[in-house]
Amino acid sequence: MITRDRLPLTRRWVVKIGSALLTRNGQGLDREVLAPWVDQMTAFRRAGNDLVLVSSGAVAEGMCRMGWTRRPKSLHELQAAAAIGQMGLIRAYEDCFQRRGLHTAQVLLTRDDLADRARYLNARSTLRTLLRLGVIPVVNENDTVATDELRFGDNDTLAALVANLIEADLLVLLTDQDGLFDSDPRFHPGASLISETRVDNPQIDAVAGGSVTGLGTGGMVTKVRAARLAARSGTPTVIAPGRGEGVLSRIARGEEVGTLLAPVQEAQAARKQWLAGQLQVRGRLTIDAGAVAALRSQGKSLLAVGVKSVQGAFQRGEVVACVDEDGREVARGLINYDALETNRIKGLPSSRFEQVLGYLDDAELIHRDNLVLL
């Protein structure tokens, strides 16, 4: 099981900050509280790590700007409040990070973006590019276009799906509680903080589920659910007190802060299992002996130069089978180009893609992280 002293040295984090921490009792953003978190995130980034921020607070900021005292109930008014508030939210983060020499980027997602394979790959590529450029992506739900059927429902869930998307090493859910307790500390003075446990521990269901007076009303149910979603790709989750001094820095040092919910499987095995569950083959690539060896023995990505022939009418982001020249299936994976594009670049080095296609999206046909050997 992943423990605090086994968290990876080279790290990619998703950090989620909730509305209760960001707003003045729901009355707009409290910009003074941003600085300590931004200081810690800046230090984490400058230490050579990657960080994606999922931030709540847009609706509360929009309500404040409009002078509304009650949270809207209709979806369209909530969407309007979020659209108005996003302006202030992003500006606050950009100003704060810019004073420390870093830039931010706004990324708005819907559940549909992560369900559609091509859009999934587009979102993944964009986030990875932003991280490579040293930018801090600030992610939120695209409330303006999301419908009831497409809404994530809460930013804990969104943060977990982003952790799946970028294969994060850790999901940090900052909350106004100290973590997950074995009973409600408001009514049981002897309640103990659960420091570490696995996401499949049935005890945490009893603690987080509870009655109206239990911890679940504080959002702990969604945090446990998010931890289990993150665990699908092997990502552990820390539920931590957002108001604790230097909380992110302390987590980075491996200190016992909040509750660590560890996945059942290691990251690589969980990722492959998650991919395997998505597989519906839409096409077939015949690859040469060199490509077979690169996939099986060297753990490499599939390059176009090793492809001999292409079958099927697949789209970018769909699953294709890779077979050897005798027709034996070697692997399956999510392809970065559609069938027509793949036919045009098969057998070619990636340096020729732009000349042939007029653009270069990815150097690999199938990245090794999106490939399952059979």
CATH of the domain at 352: 2.30.130.10
pLDDT digits (tens, 9 = 90+) for 140-164: 887 666 655 445 667 898 999 899 8
Mean pLDDT of 107-127: 82
Residue 11: which domain range?
Answer: 4-265
Domain boundary among the residues 217, 237, 265 is at: 265
**Residue 105 scores a pLDDT above 70:** yes
Mean pLDDT of 307-328: 92
Residue 270 lies in a domain: no
Q: Are residues 55 and 146 in the same domain?
A: yes
Q: Are residues 239 and 309 in the same domain?
A: no
Within 8 A by CB and 6+ apart from 15, the residues are: 41, 51, 52, 53, 54, 159, 172, 174, 248
- Higher pLDDT, residue 138 or 1: 138
Q: Both tokens of residue 330?
A: 């070697």
Q: Are residues 212 and 170 in the same domain?
A: yes
% of the chain with per-residue pLDDT over 90: 43
Q: Are residues 66 and 185 in the same domain?
A: yes
What is the b/e burial string over 53-88, where b = at least 16 CB atoms within 10 angstroms of the residue's CB? bbbbbbbbbbbbeeeeeeebeeeebbbbbbbbbbeb
Q: In what order do the strands lie in the sheet with 237-241?
A: 104-109, 136-141, 50-55, 12-17, 170-175, 237-241, 259-262, 196-198
Mean pLDDT of 198-222: 64
Mean pLDDT of 107-126: 81
Domain boundary among the residues 223, 239, 265 is at: 265
Mean pLDDT of 80-107: 92
- The span from the CA of 83 to the CA of 55, in Å, is 14
Tally of domains within the chain: 2
Residue 286 lies in a domain: yes
Q: Are residues 18 and 167 in the same domain?
A: yes
Question: How much is the pLDDT for 324?
Answer: 95
Mean pLDDT of 252-268: 84
The CATH number that applies at residue 141 is 3.40.1160.10
Question: How much is the pLDDT for 31?
Answer: 82
Q: Are residues 232 and 286 in the same domain?
A: no
Q: Are residues 247 and 329 in the same domain?
A: no
- Please state the pTM of the whole predicted model: 0.76
% of the chain with per-residue pLDDT over 70: 86
